[in-house]
């Protein structure tokens, strides 16, 4: 089993204004002359972490990590204005141009897989390949599966679901994303934070194959609020994508090498989405692994590190 590469510190950090409102935080790790790769984090709204560069050999890769709009160290923190998939795709291209990179490998997990596909389809001449994990295609059915009372995820983690559902009155269980959004967008700060903690109490602890059903997050309440608001903002708009867009436009990237890594027991982004992607894109290699949604579960790490190493080997050949 492959494991994560050692932790390193960025060799360069950037503060990049992409419009009059938003400024991005960007980090570069690894080798300045290495194979360029862009890491697209999940959430949306989760931001980058020190673990994210560790899927890549730092002696062979120039690793670019971007805090997306409203996320991490980008400003304004938690901002929803001018924050859509199209804006994020444009930001990725702005970062590429600003860093003087001609083409790069595109790597993303969970929401990052959505963004990776959307970016590569918009700019296929700028991608050298894709590695995606925990596939989410931005479809209404995927949102309902995980966050609505008629979805399937509630049958898998009933203890967690009970707490998620109990936060809302029973007469609002027909459209739970919208009911949560009303509270996340409340004028009352305490209401917003309580809704965010209930929202992420369901999601964050459903991410791993093995977990404590009673664990409680110790995350900063304002960080929790920002992430929950950005997620709900995207979910209620079906990721600002047309229905079936990422599968419809797969021909734009069919020529690129692709690897799809999917946890067989991923409850947040269930395997059907990765399967649908692989059927539309048979040239890509689908690897189902014995894990849940979390990127750092052993089988997922093994598959992802093997994929990045193989890409580096091919680039050097």
Please indicate whether residue 266 is annotated as part of the active site.
Answer: yes
Rg of the Cα atoms in the chain: 19
Alpha helices in the chain (DSSP H): 85-98, 111-122, 140-147, 158-166, 176-184, 189-203, 221-235, 245-248, 271-280, 298-316
Annotated active-site residue in 266, 278, 291, 302 = 266
Annotated active-site residue in 22, 52, 53, 293 = 293
**CB within 8 Å of 128: residues ≥ 6 apart:** 36, 103, 104, 105, 256, 257, 315
3, two tokens:
């494991």
Residue with tokens 């931005």: 138
Please indicate whether residue 110 is annotated as part of the active site.
Answer: yes
Annotated active-site residue in 41, 53, 57, 110 = 110
Q: DSSP of 149-203, one letter per residue?
A: TTSSGGGT-HHHHHHHHHTS-GGGTTSHHHHHHHHHT-S-HHHHHHHHHHHHHHH
* Pairing state between β 285-289 and 127-133: unpaired
What's the CA gap between 244 and 11, in Å, rounded?
39
Please indicate whether residue 186 is annotated as part of the active site.
Answer: no
Catalytic residues: 110, 266, 293
């Amino acid at each position: 089993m492959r494991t994560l590469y050692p932790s390193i510190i960025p060799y360069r950090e950037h503060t990049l204004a992409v419009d009059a409102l938003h400024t991005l935080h960007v980090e570069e790790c690894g080798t300045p002359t290495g194979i360029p790769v862009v890491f697209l984090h999940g959430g949306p709204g989760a931001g980058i972490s020190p673990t994210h560069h560790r899927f890549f050999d730092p002696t062979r890769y120039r690793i670019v990590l971007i805090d997306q709009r409203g996320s991490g160290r980008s400003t304004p923190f938690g901002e929803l204005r001018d924050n859509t998939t199209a804006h994020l795709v444009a930001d990725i291209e702005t970062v590429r141009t600003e860093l003087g990179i001609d083409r790069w490998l595109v790597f993303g997990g969970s929401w990052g897989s959505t963004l990776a596909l959307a970016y590569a389809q918009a700019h296929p001449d700028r991608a050298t390949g894709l590695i995606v994990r925990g596939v989410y295609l931005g479809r209404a059915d995927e949102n309902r599966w995980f966050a609505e009372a008629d979805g399937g995820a509630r049958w898998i983690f009933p203890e967690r679901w009970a707490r998620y559902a109990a936060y809302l009155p029973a007469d609002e269980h027909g459209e739970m994303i919208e009911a949560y959004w009303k509270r996340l967008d409340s004028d009352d700060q305490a209401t917003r934070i309580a809704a965010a903690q209930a929202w992420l109490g369901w999601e964050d602890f459903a991410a791993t194959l093995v977990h404590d059903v009673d664990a409680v997050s110790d995350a900063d309440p304002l960080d929790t609020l920002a992430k929950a608001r950005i997620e709900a903002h995207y979910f209620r708009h079906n990721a600002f994508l047309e229905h079936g867009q990422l599968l419809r436009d797969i021909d734009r990237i069919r020529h690129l090498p692709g690897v799809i890594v999917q946890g067989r027991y991923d409850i947040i982004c269930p395997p059907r989405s990765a399967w649908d992607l692989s059927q539309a894109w048979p040239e890509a290699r689908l690897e189902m692994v014995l894990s849940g949604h979390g990127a750092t579960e052993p089988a997922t790490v093994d598959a992802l590190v093997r994929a990045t190493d193989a890409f580096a080997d091919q680039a050097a050949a």
